[in-house]
Amino acid sequence: MDAPGTPANANGLPDWANRHRFSVDAYHRMGETGILHPADRIELIDGEIVEMAPAGSAHIGAVFALNRLLTRAAPEGVTVSVQSPIQMGDRSEPEPDLALLRARPDGYRKPPPPSAADVLLIIEVSDTSLRYDREVKRALYARHQVPEVWIVDLAAAAVEIYRKPEQQTYAEVATRGRSEMLQPFLFPGVRISVSEIV
C-alpha cells in the first residue's frame, strides 16, 4: 500500500510507478494499424500519448490569423507549418499550432519528417492549455534546442516570448501586449502586431 501523501497522477498511479513509454516508431505503427485514428487530437510527449484540448473559436481564429500573417511575411527559404507533427528525439512528436521550418527542396514530402533541427520558431496558442504549454511543451522545446517559442495567451491578450534555450528552460523571457509588435529573433524584418492575433 502506498504511504499517505504519495503523489499520484490523474489515474491514481504514484509518481514512482513504472510506465510503458512509446517510441515515435511505435506511435506511428499504432496509427497505421488503426489503434489510433487521424481524428484523434493527440500527440506523443516523452513517450506518453497526450490528449490535446479541443480548439475553441478564439483558438481557431488566432491560428488562422497567424497562418495568414506568417505566410505573407516569412522570408524565402522558410516553410510555415500548421498543426503538423515535428519529431523531437525518439519519444516525442508534438504538434505545435504553428512553426517556422527551414525549407527543403522536397517540401517535406519525403522522409525524414520535420525534426527539432528544422525548427526556427514554434508558436502555441493557449486558452485551456496554458499550463500544459508553459510547463510541459516549453520544457520539451528547450531540451531540443528550439531557438524561439511564442505562447499566445488568449485570456491575457498577450504573447509570451521564450529565447535562448538552456536545458529545460529559456534564459530570455518577455511578454508583449496588444499594443506591441512581435519580431522573430531570427527574422528581425518580420513584424506582427499582437492585436492582429488576440
Specify if 21 maps to a domain: no
* Domain assignment of residue 72, given as a range: 53-196
> What is the spatial distance between Cα 188 and Cα 173, in angstroms, rounded to a whole number?
17
Determine, yes or no, domain membership for 29. no
For the domain that residue 150 is a member of, what is the CATH number?
A: 3.90.1570.10
pTM of the predicted model as reported, rounded to 2 decimal places = 0.88
Asked, for residue 165, whether it belongs to a domain, the answer is: yes
pLDDT single digits (tens) 22-68? 889 888 888 888 888 877 889 999 999 999 888 899 999 999 999 99
- DSSP letters, 90-110, are SS-B---SEEEEE--TTTT-S
Residue 100 lies in a domain: yes
Answer whether 95's CB lies under 8 Å from 83's CB. Answer: yes
Considering its fold, how many domains does the chain have in total?
1
